[in-house]
Every structure is written in structure tokens, then in C-alpha cells.
Structure 1
């Protein structure tokens, strides 16, 4: 009896198609385009490193980049388009109001969204969701540290030059609530209605010892700084920019010495991790300038998402369930997500926070004035 033989069933070809990630970045005006380019540089650098180390089970990562131009409607449309294109997740965005729209849209579509840089506390407003996580710290954490810095410097009467925005209004309330128990006050000046010279007139009448710029960059931030610095009625007035405008090279180019001594929030540790030190050199070469904290946020976004992909797969529902399982070494510390009380999204607890300014003696050099190394 001859036993029939059957050819062996050929093994299925491994899936080598790219794992798609949607990336939201503000690359054109009125978006803060310099921040957008730094964010994108960090995302792209991390993707290159992941692919050089084997990708995701042999599949390369690929970014599908969309320019939001700081427009919430563009962000919502981009998330909808990317969801239909089959991305495993969406990442990025710098502007908080834009990120909130992106997060809300992603949650509604069941697409995981890992927010890189936006800090507005209420990133989603419809209740807790497993589909949204965030790398950047919430606004309240950094801005309370900033308020402590003001108090330590003897500044209890603060003026803010603010444009209409949920983000700026939220920041003003955080400052007011934190300063009030210490006898501090916050006076709001409408930067949308007042030209720089008129704002200086109003500022001189308040008797404030510090002016915080809660406005866009370079307009109207740069003209405001120039007007305040030139006003003989305002000698010694502290100018502050908690949102981080002085971090970027454009600030230094446009303002020179006038842009020094303006404290701002920066999300970097005292010392980068070994990974961060290597990435810093690569980003410096790619950007032809020192990378901002936003570039590191972009890199760490891909680090965290890769930890999810390699440990739990690229299915959207599995990704959404895996944020609390992330445990990865980033450029600025160990990345782990929790859901702090009152928070509707998964949050890295916590990225490091610094208050920094440009040294008046050397405006291209940064000075760390205060730090919360909670990572």
C-alpha cells in the first residue's frame, strides 16, 4: 500500500506592510510653525530609530503627516481622514484647543490618540476615555509651579496681556487661584483690543510688577516686549511667557537682548537620559539648531506608542486598553501612564518641568530658575 503524500502547506508570507501613524503638526501660520517643525523632527527621528531596530514585528512604522495650521476644524477633518485610511493611532499636535478637538474626534471614532505637546487640562470634556493619552503635563501642573516662582520673587500683583482663547483663559484662572491665597492679584489686559503702546499705558496704571504674555508668537508677543522694554514708566518690570515662546530660536533672532530675562516653562529634566543625550545630538544636526523640549516630546511619543505596539499589537481597541501597561525609557525619564484624579485621559505621570529664561549676559544661553523633576 502506498501512502499518498501531500505537499507541505506553504507558510503564510509575513506581513511587511507599514504600520501607519497619523501625525498632527502645525507647520504653517497661524500655527506656531517653529514648534510644529520641532515636533515633527522628534517624531520622525524616533520612527527612523524604531525602523532601524526592526520595526514592529518586522513591519516598518510610517507617518502620515497632516498640517493643522492651528485650526481645530482642520484637525477634526484630518483625524477623520486618517481613521478612514487605517492608521493604528494618531499622535502629535502642539496647540491645546486644536488638540482638544483632535482628541474628541479620535475618541468618537475609536482611534487611539497620543497627544504630544498640548497641555490644556480638559483635553476631552465628554467624560473619561481610554482612547486618549498624553505625554505633556497638564497646564495646571506647570502653571502652578510658575505661580510659585512669581511669589518667590516677590511678585503678587500680576498683569496678563491675553488674547481670547480657552487656553489663555484657563492659564489666567490657574494663576489667579494659586496666587489669591497669598494675597496675589491678576489683572487682565486685552491684547486683542489694545495696541502695544496703549497696553503699556494700561499696564503702567495697574502698578503690576510682572507682565505675563498670554499671546501668540511672533505677533503680538514681539511688539509687546519691544514696547514694554522701551517704556520709561516700566523700569524693572518682569516680563514672563509661561507658554514657552522664548524657547525657540525665532524669539532670540527677533528680540536679541530684549528677549532675555523672560521666564518660561520648559519640559526638560536637569539631565537627559542616555537615550536623550544621543537623540539631542541627532536632532541638533537635523534642525541645525538646539532642539526644543517640543522635539523631545515628539520623540517620546513614538517611544511610548512603540512600547504598546511591540507588547500588545496594533489593533486599535487593544492599544486603547494598553496605556496603563506602558513602561518605557524615554529621552527625559521613564514613561508610565496613570489616570490622575479628575483627569479624563491617560497621563504620563510626570514629565519634568522647569522654569527657564535666556541669560541677559548671553541671550543664546538658558538658565534654569526652578525645577520640578517629578518624572
Structure 2
């Protein structure tokens, strides 16, 4: 008999008067647990703030947390369970393939889902009124990343990749954006190559940039260490579009080897006044600098609380409210629209940055490009 791990603190309360939001978060391996911890911190902080200002028309807001562990099947089961518990809406998830499973399940049963931090364009196979998303679709963010590479003079790009719908979609975006400008993208399959093999291939192909489309912490960190120590590759740029260097564990494990690795993050040049206040509270809660994922978590609850206060807790009314949302979040005013190629409601202007860690001070970030 398999057993589920106990819910996180605050995940198992049963206040009958509460308005409940179901939260899907990767909290155990093989999920990216650092991202899950930041996402949950943002969600929980926002719930606290909502309740400190009157809750949902006098009723407390409650977060019912389920750990997805980066498992789509587990996410599907959690959606069904949370729907049965009477949650008013779903929030969360970081891993794109898991969020896609959750979105499909939520659409099938008519449960509003605001995706916090997953970017795969095809979040659902069909148009749905039930699902909305805060981060930009992968096609937009990775096009910005490709433009950054072009601007930095890179034309021969290599990607060290593992099999994944998400990684494959990102590679297509990069190739389509780079090709008209004479750029090429070669793929190195990490299911058959060792980090030493990757170094040999990079030296032979004379690539100027290597992008890590790999699991974290491994094999991504092993590849970084191997490349940094190879004298043939001293001028090679290492990039991580998916954002691995954003989290403190990257800098702790890699030190200066993990610096100067450009990555995507979804932060503005300047946080809103709300964002500045939330940043202080998140740093205290996390005992480290909050990532963009923590702000995404906060903004998710801020949007849902506004909708629930304005339109009530009926699920159909919540889903119908997506196009009328106008919420001042931590990173700007959040409104939803339909974008070409997307079947879900999408924040129309999420910020996009490319940043890295400063080699002189790896705990400090440098913004290299915005889009």
C-alpha cells in the first residue's frame, strides 16, 4: 500500500467557514523542491495578507496544499481530490508538464485554475474558459532569450538536453528564432553522453554557447563543472533559460562556476510598492532572497482573492471573471487576454528579464536584457 506524505503545515486544516484554494506545489524529489518552496512561500504569504484584511467578504481564505513531486499523474489525482474537498479554485505548479496535466483535469471537471509558474505554450489541447496563467508562454520568453544570444554575437549554439516536451519545445523556439539570422542549434543528448563527452563535442563543433536543457541539480551541475574546468572551453558561454541559477542552491553548490550563466526570470525593472513590501516579508520567510517564483505565488493568490471577493465563490463565475481582472500585483497590473496560439487566459504583459549572477559577487544578480 502506498501512502501520501503528510500535508505541509497549514495544508490540512478544516475550517468549515473558510473559502479554500487548492495549491499544487512540487515539494519532494524528483520535483524542483527549491522552486516549490519559493512558490509555496508566496502563496502562503498572500493568504496571510488576505486574511489580515478581512478575508473573502468576512470568511477566512485557506490554502489546501498538495505535493505533486513533478508527477503528472499525481497532479491529476490531486485535482480530483481537491475538487471533491470543495475548493473554489486551483493555484500553483512550477513544472510545465505537470501543470499541463492539472490544467487538462481542471478543464474536464470545471474547476478554475490559475497557473502560477509554468510556461509550456500548449497548457491545454483545446480552448478553455477555466484556465488562466501568470507567466509568459514559453514561445515569448525563449524568443527573448534567442534575441539576447544574437545580440551577444552567438550564432553556433549547442543545447545539452534530456527528453522532455518542455525542452523539445524550447529547442524549437530557439532554432526558429536563430535560423533567419544564420544561427544554428546543435543538440547533445544527455541520455547517452557524459559531461566529458559534452566537452569534447563542444570543442569539436566550436560552439560559442551551451544551453542547459537539463534536470536540476543533476546532470546540470555536473555539466557546468566539467565545462568550467576544460581549458578548451574558456570562452564558451553557458546559459540556462529555464532559470536554474535563480535559486540559492545553485550558487551554494557551484560558487563562481555558477556565475555568468544567463537565465530567464519574470521580474520587472522595479517592483510595485506592493512588491517591495512583499519582497521584505518573503526574504524573512525564506531566509534568503526571494526568486521570481515566490512573487508568482503571491500574485496568484492576490488575483484569486480579488476575483472571489468581487464575484463570489461559484466556480463558473470565477472562470467567467478572467477577462475582467485588473489587479495590482507585485510586478505590475495583471490583466488577462487571449493570445494567438494559446488556449488559456494569459496575463497580457508579464515582465521578462535575462539575468545572471555576478562573478565578483555570486549572491548578486545582473540584469543583462529585458523583453
TM beyond 0.5:
yes
- Which deviations, in whole Å up to 9, do the C-alpha atoms of 1:221-271 show, x marking residues without a partner? 110000000111112100000000000000000000000000000100111
Which residue matches 1:25?
A: 25
Query: 5 Å matches for 1:211-250?
Result: 211-250=210-249
Task: Tell me which structure has the larger Cα radius of gyration.
Answer: 1
Secondary structure in structure 1 of the residue aligned to 2:342:
coil
Shift of 1:35: 0.3
Shift of 1:156: 0.6
Secondary structure in structure 2 of the residue aligned to 1:62:
strand
Which residue matches 1:368?
A: 367
**1:118 aligns to 2:136 (yes or no):** no
Which residue matches 2:354?
A: 355
CA distance in 2, matches of 1:182, 1:32: 34
Shift of 1:341: 2.0
Shift of 1:306: 1.1
Which residue matches 1:322?
A: 321
Which residue matches 1:278?
A: 277
Q: Point out where structure 1 has 5 or more consecutive residues left out of the alignment.
A: 1-14
Shift of 1:16: 7.4
Which residue matches 1:75?
A: 75
Which residue matches 1:45?
A: 45
CA distance in 1, matches of 2:269, 2:100: 30
CA distance in 2, matches of 1:50, 1:178: 42
Secondary structure in structure 1 of the residue aligned to 2:276:
helix
Secondary structure in structure 1 of the residue aligned to 2:232:
coil
CA distance in 1, matches of 2:75, 2:264: 25
Shift of 1:67: 0.4
**1:138 aligns to 2:126 (yes or no):** no
Which residue matches 1:172?
A: 171
Secondary structure in structure 2 of the residue aligned to 1:366:
strand
Query: 5 Å matches for 1:36-115?
Result: 36-115=36-115
Shift of 1:192: 2.0
Which residue matches 2:259?
A: 260
Runs of 4+ in structure 1 deviating by more than 3 angstroms, as ranges, are none
CA distance in 2, matches of 1:200, 1:18: 55
CA distance in 2, matches of 1:235, 1:222: 17
- Which deviations, in whole Å up to 9, do the C-alpha atoms of 1:5-29 show, x marking residues without a partner? xxxxxxxxxx971001100000011
Residue correspondences, number: 357
Q: Point out where structure 2 has 5 or more consecutive residues left out of the alignment.
A: 1-14
Secondary structure in structure 2 of the residue aligned to 1:233:
helix
Q: CA RMSD in A?
A: 0.9
Secondary structure in structure 1 of the residue aligned to 2:233:
coil
CA distance in 2, matches of 1:272, 1:58: 29
CA distance in 1, matches of 2:289, 2:47: 20
